[in-house]
Structure 1
């Protein structure tokens, strides 16, 4: 069992984790909200990606995004939220691979966001650090 010294994190690291998580939360809540409306850019993008310009699908994805993000933002359910967001972002990556989107700007954006999800959570959640302790 790891000791407290192995799972302890400095205050600046914890603040960095909260900032990273906050940025992810704001971005994903905005992303979910524009799918609820849904703006024309949302349905046009979904159509280009091969899902059709369905407002109902856009709204469903918006609800899923918001629910997963809210789970991630609440400390007792943050790990569950991170797992669900990882699956959601993996689907986005797969969709971009399927249509041949640019690699570093579009396809890997979900990976970048996922790294921020887990990195921010790791820095702010002692339970996760105990579960996956990094050794020096």
Structure 2
């Protein structure tokens, strides 16, 4: 009984964490697709051509949707990890503060993978190296 309750709790916590990540990334994608002034200004500061705003927003939207769909969530997580890694490199290149700007994408990536592992037993097995009880 405790295993079932623990499993259900882990699953719910996983969806909450994933939901927060999904909401943040969808908001980010929307800002790029809508070409909001603050987003375009940030892109200029980071050395990214503003003409890429819609393209980057579309890529982020598609891979976030892949992450949100249970059947494709692992693929989405993998692609989002690459996207977030690119953000780290951009912030390193322009010399932004390490803990607040540069590593923010790492924090999002950690939440992304922990959320997925808590809601997907196959991913949990991959990280922790053991079979979960069924």
Q: Does 1:129 align with 2:127?
A: no
Of the three residues 94, 117, 126, the one matched with 1:99 is 94
> Which residue matches 1:90?
85
> Which residue matches 2:44?
47
Structure 1, unmatched stretches of 5+, are none
The alignment of Structure 1 onto Structure 2 pairs a total of residues equal to: 127
Structure 2, unmatched stretches of 5+, are none
CA offsets 1:93-136 (integer angstroms, 9 cap, x no match):
0000000101111000000000011000000001212333346x
CA RMSD in angstroms comes to 1.7
Name the SS of the counterpart of 2:10 in structure 1: helix
Alpha-carbon distance between aligned partners in 2 of 1:132 and 1:40, rounded to the nearest angstrom: 40
Alpha-carbon distance between aligned partners in 2 of 1:31 and 1:133, rounded to the nearest angstrom: 31
Name the SS of the counterpart of 1:132 in structure 2: helix
Determine which structure has greater relative contact order: mean sequence separation of CA pairs < 8 Å that are 6+ residues apart, divided by chain length: 1
- TM-score, reference length from structure 1: 0.87
CA offsets 1:61-81 (integer angstroms, 9 cap, x no match):
100111000000001100000
- TM-score, reference length from structure 2: 0.89
Name the SS of the counterpart of 1:51 in structure 2: coil
Of the three residues 11, 14, 30, the one matched with 2:11 is 14
Alpha-carbon distance between aligned partners in 2 of 1:92 and 1:132, rounded to the nearest angstrom: 24
* Structure whose residues are more often helix by fraction: 2
